[in-house]
Amino acid sequence: MNQVKIIGESLNNIPWQVKPKDHYGPVWRHTENPVINRNPVRGISRIFNSAVAPYNGKFVGIFRAETINGRPHLHLGWSNDALNWEIEEKAIEFIDKKGKPYQPRYGYDPRLVKVEDTFYIIWCTDFHGAALGLAETKDFKSFVRLENPFLPFNRNGVLFPRKIKGNFVMLSRPSDSGHTPFGDVFLSESPDLKYWGNHRHVMSKGGKGWWQALKIGGGPAPIETTEGWLMFYHGVTRTCNGYVYSMGAALLDIDEPSRVKYRCENFILTPEEWYEEKGFVDNVIFPCATLQDGDTGRIVIYYGAADTYVGVAYTTVEEIVNYIIENHESVGEDRDLGRI
Ligand code: BMA
């Protein structure tokens, strides 16, 4: 095994369970999944596809909460152990830079990423169709919405956790207004989070395996490692009973992250447990966040399960990076800069 390290802070209070002896594969589930069950809070029927981050010795989360009228909104939550969550009954109230209310009509699939001293929330909002919403906070009390970064239709906005060559970098998946039956991952840069350019193609759907044949989309914020940016993402296949969402992994070049170094041919997690196979939408694993410890290389992955629950899974940077390299497929044009 190659020695691989996370380039990042130590975080020794994250949840952890050792890999079961008979487990095959680089990612294993928390034994008490799901960590968020149905009807977790009054007025909220389901929480899934949500993001968490460390904050002042505790953990904070931005949760996709499906309210009892069926509309999704973003709710704040807190936890001491990153497993048991207290989620607020009221949705987050966003303001604009002048302090005026600037509430999204709906919000789903949030990512929460700290860059320097600010936390950014990126989510899917309504901007005359599905598009990316963007907001910042430093204290989780005031949430200031910034300009919508991209035109509709676009989903799965994922900010990198640091600037690269002086620019913010965002992954996204341009799409259509419905249940997009296509889609690749692209990357865009911005000096100020307002003006975006240097658009690049990162990764195509497809590949040798069929599990990501229909579309792919970014997941948690990429993790910086000594082998490149570790990117977890979701890949979708179409069956006669609908879509199936699995989790995949790839390594992107550190300085030019639109270049894919290695892409794992196999899924690293696919719906197998009852809470992944059966729910509001069956057969969905949708990763949105990780917590990781730079000292031990432990990684905790948070994923939405069956559009109904939140699940937790574990890996280590050595285990997952070596698995990607050992099982990589030819990435062809994805290795290019992605300008054409
Ligand atoms: C996608 C998004 C996700 C959802 C998935 C499966 O289009 O809407 O929020 O988890 O479909 O239903």
Cα–ligand 1 centroid distance for 64 (angstroms): 11
pLDDT in tens, 167-218: 999 999 999 989 999 999 999 999 999 999 999 999 999 989 999 999 999 9
pLDDT in tens, 126-175: 999 999 999 999 999 999 999 999 999 999 999 999 999 999 999 999 99
Ligand 1 pocket, residue 156 CB under 6 Å: no
pLDDT in tens, 33-68: 999 999 999 999 999 999 999 999 999 999 999 999
Per-residue confidence (pLDDT) for residue 330, from 0 to 100: 85
Which ligand 1 atom minimizes the distance to the CA of 245?
A: 6
State both tokens at 255. 């300085």
pLDDT in tens, 263-317: 999 999 999 999 999 999 999 999 999 999 999 999 999 999 999 999 999 999 9
Q: State the pLDDT confidence band at 2, using cuts at 50, 70 and 90.
A: low
Ligand 1 pocket, residue 281 CB under 6 Å: yes
What is 229-282 written as a DSSP string?
A: EEEEEEEEEEETTEEEEEEEEEEE-SS-TTSEEEEESS-SB-S-SHHHHSSSSS
pLDDT in tens, 94-130: 999 999 999 999 999 999 999 999 999 999 999 999 9
In terms of phi and psi (left: phi > 0; alpha: psi -120 to 50; beta: otherwise), the region of 177 is alpha
How, if at all, do strands 197-203 and 185-190 pair?
antiparallel
Per-residue confidence (pLDDT) for residue 332, from 0 to 100: 87
Nearest-angstrom CA–CA distance, 217 and 62 = 19
Nearest-angstrom CA–CA distance, 322 and 269 = 16
Prior bond of 153 cis (ω within 30°): yes
The protein residue whose alpha carbon is closest to atom 12 in ligand 1 is: 281
Query: Model's pTM, two decimal places?
Result: 0.98
Q: What is the 3-state secondary structure (H, E, C) of 141-195?
A: CCEEECCCCCCCCEEEEEECCCCECCEEEEEEEECCCCCCCCCCEEEEEECCCCC
Asked if residue 240 has pLDDT above 70, the reply is yes
Q: State the pLDDT confidence band at 72, using cuts at 50, 70 and 90.
A: very high
What whole-number percentage of the chain has pLDDT above 70? 99
Residue labelled with tokens 């000096």: 191
Ligand 1 pocket, residue 225 CB under 6 Å: no
Give the residue from 126, 10, 134 showing the smallest Cα distance to 62.
134
Give the residue from 47, 51, 73, 49 showing the smallest Cα distance to 62.
51
Ligand 1 pocket, residue 115 CB under 6 Å: no
Cα–ligand 1 centroid distance for 136 (angstroms): 24
Ligand 1 pocket, residue 181 CB under 6 Å: no
Give the residue from 27, 12, 112 showing the smallest Cα distance to 317.
27
Asked if residue 1 has pLDDT above 80, the reply is no
The protein residue whose alpha carbon is closest to atom 11 in ligand 1 is: 179
Cα–ligand 1 centroid distance for 98 (angstroms): 33
Cα–ligand 1 centroid distance for 18 (angstroms): 30
Cα–ligand 1 centroid distance for 121 (angstroms): 18
The protein residue whose alpha carbon is closest to atom 10 in ligand 1 is: 307
State both tokens at 230. 């570790």
